[in-house]
Amino acid sequence: MPVDHRHSVVFIDLDHTLLDGPFDSLVFPQVLGELSRKTGLDYDTLLALVRSENRARQTDPTCPAVLAMDWDDIFTRVADRLGVTLETRACDVLRAHPGPPYAVLLPGAVQALERLTAGRPRRAVVLATKGLGRYQLPVLRATGLLHYFDDVLTPEITQALKYSPEFYGSWPARTRIQIMVGDTYEDDVLPAHRFGFKTVLKMDQPPGSTENGDPFIRAQEIFSGAEQTVRPDAVIYALDELPEVIEKMENEVQDEDL
């Protein structure tokens, strides 16, 4: 079988980049609700405990990537520490309600993906999520997004997290330009920049913002003088800005080759 070579690959994060998923709106409330009833601890305290466990796993080099993002195991571990037995399973909750109203596409998500996938076959569009496939695939199917992607990268598939180049599989070797799009500086900008990718950070527009309307100049203005030494190539406030940003990045590399 011939190797699939493309001019560019656009890696796109899922949660809070393309949609707001069911974990915040459904899974956490149900699981932590049970823990709260059994322990007497309030929701915010329990949320801090499970997020702390998740962060500790992600930063532990000896913790396998899949285990680091296994929320059912995280919930069970925290419940054990609190001396209670947890009956609610995140997988069961999510499979029962993977779509709206608990998974909500962000404005412009479908339109942006339509424009990006129109660039095939020169451009590949790849979902790059550190969420496990057992949690993300039901949401992708329920929201109708799955068919837009040439590939789906998750910790089960890659046995890695975004901090490792192995997470991105063979796509970097098969493409001239790699672009990472996401909403998290630590996950989607820092490591991708280290691997030589171009980066697009999706941020919420500050109320009354007067920053430049150009996403490339906006990135320079926002990160000028900031503590972060690595700056994203572009900052977008809305997904309808993304296709033009991607096209400009691709064209700049093409011009360099001429």
What does the pLDDT look like over 95-105, one tens digit per residue?
999 999 999 99
Residues contacting 145, CB < 8 A, separation 6+: 18, 19, 105, 109, 110, 113
| Residues 7-39 pLDDT 10s | 999 999 999 999 999 999 999 999 999 999 999
Residue 91: other Cβ atoms inside 10 A? 15
Q: Give the model's confidence band at 6: pLDDT under 50 very low, under 70 low, under 90 confident, else very high.
A: confident
218 and 212 Cβ atoms separated by less than 8 Å: yes
Can you give the pLDDT at residue 255? 52
Given a cut of 70, whether residue 2 has pLDDT beyond it is: no
Residue 46 has pLDDT above 90, yes or no: yes
155 in Cβ contact with 69 (< 8 Å): yes
Phi, psi (rounded to 5 degrees) for 7 = -70, -40
Residue listed under structure tokens 């532990």? 60
Say what the pLDDT of residue 1 is.
35
Rg (CA), the chain: 19
Can you state the angle between helices 43-58 and 71-81, rounded to 10 degrees? 120
Q: Domain map of the chain by residue range?
A: 6-21+103-257, 22-96
Closest among 153, 147, 165, 178 to 7, alpha carbons compared: 178
pLDDT over threshold 90, residue 206: no
Tens of pLDDT, residues 108-155:
999 999 999 999 899 999 999 999 999 999 999 999 999 999 999 999
Give the per-residue pLDDT at 252.
86
SS3 content of the chain, % helix, strand, coil (to 5): 50, 15, 35
Residue 16: predicted pLDDT: 97
175: closest CA among 146, 153, 196?
Answer: 196
Nearest 5°: CA angle at 89, between 24 and 160?
70
- pLDDT greater than 50 at residue 44: yes
The residue count for the chain = 258
Q: Which residues of 164-187 are buried (b: 16+ CB within 10 A; e: fewer)?
A: ebebbbebeeebebbbbbbbbbeb
Mean pLDDT, rounded, for 77-81: 98
For residue 258, the model assigns a pLDDT of 38
Chosen CATH of 6-21+103-257 out of 3.40.50.1000, 3.40.1360.10, 3.40.50.300, 3.40.50.10440: 3.40.50.1000
CA distance 188 to 176: 19
- Count of alpha carbons within 13 angstroms of residue 51, beta-carbon side: 9
Percent of the chain clearing pLDDT 70 (strictly above): 94
Distance CA(30)–CA(48), nearest Å, equals 15
Residue 226's pLDDT band (cuts 50, 70, 90): low
Average per-residue pLDDT in the chain?
94
